[in-house]
Structures are given as C-alpha cells and as structure tokens.
Amino acid sequence: MEKQSQNGGDYRLPEIVVSDTDHARLTSLATAALETVPDTAEELLSELDRAKVVADESVPPDVVRMGSAVEFSSDQDRKRVTLVFPQEADIAAGKVSVLTPVGAALIGLAEGESITWTARDGSSHEMTIVSVEQPEQSAAK
C-alpha cells in the first residue's frame, strides 16, 4: 500500500490516526484473521503498527474510523461506503469490511489524502478521500 500526497507526488507515508478502542479491536481482529485472509490481515496490522493511537474523543472529525461514512474518488468515479467490522459487511448496502483491501486502506486516512491499494485480483487502484462523516457517538464506541 502506498500513500501519496494530494498532488500525486510520492513521499513518506502520512501519519494515520486511530482511536485506542478501534486499535485494540482491529489488532485482535487482524491477528485472528491471519490464517483466513493473510494478505489483508497483514496489511491491516501494518497500518495499525504505524498509526498514531489517540483517545476516542481525540480522533479528528475528518479521519476515517470504524463506522465512518466515507466518500472517495477512485478510478474515475466516486463511491460512498461505511467502514464496518466483517460481521456487519453488506456490499449492497455500501458497508465495506475493514478486512477487505479497500477497507484496510481507508482506516485512519483524513479528507484530502490519497492512497494506492491493491485489490485481491492484483490490480492497483488509487483513491482520494473526499469526505468523512462520523457515526453517532453511541455507535462509535
């Protein structure tokens, strides 16, 4: 996974921010998934390893977290999805699991940031975060 600046120039990976609650739950989830979806689980663990972990209430409102509704542009179109845990995933309803390549790529990114991610079929895609809407406070816990 390669993160890029908004103008497309490569640089060091930008800092991503993850709440302490999400970090703990996602680390357990990814560790448990190492046998079933090793590539995606390893990618998620790698993202979590480099994340800045903050208290739940300190996550900036423009950062993708679990339960966030995210609009992003990708491959000449725009998509709106909600980032969810695997058991809540429902592609038809726009609910994308964090244990998919696109889901793992989204976590911790802020509005305006771009990332290149690799789909399960090996194809590369670039996306840019257009907007982030946070869930109701009770749903984020």
Residue 10 has what pLDDT? 46
End-to-end alpha carbon distance in the chain:
28
Q: Distances from the Cα of 38 to the Cαs of 29, 49, 56, 105, 139, in angstroms?
A: 12, 16, 28, 15, 28
- Kindly give the pairing relationship between strand 17-19 and strand 52-54: parallel
Which of 7-21, 36-50, 102-116 is the least confident region? 7-21
pTM of the prediction? 0.85
Side-chain-side CA neighbours of 59 within 13 Å: the count stands at: 30
Residue 137 has what pLDDT? 58
Residue 66 has pLDDT above 50, yes or no: yes
Q: Is residue 38 part of a domain?
A: yes
Domain residues for the domain of 48 are: 13-136
Tally of domains in the chain:
1
Q: Is residue 107 part of a domain?
A: yes
**Residue 73's CATH number:** 3.10.50.30
Q: Is residue 8 part of a domain?
A: no
Residue 74 has what pLDDT? 87
Nearest to 71 by CA among 130, 13, 2, 139: 130
Residue 139 has what pLDDT? 44
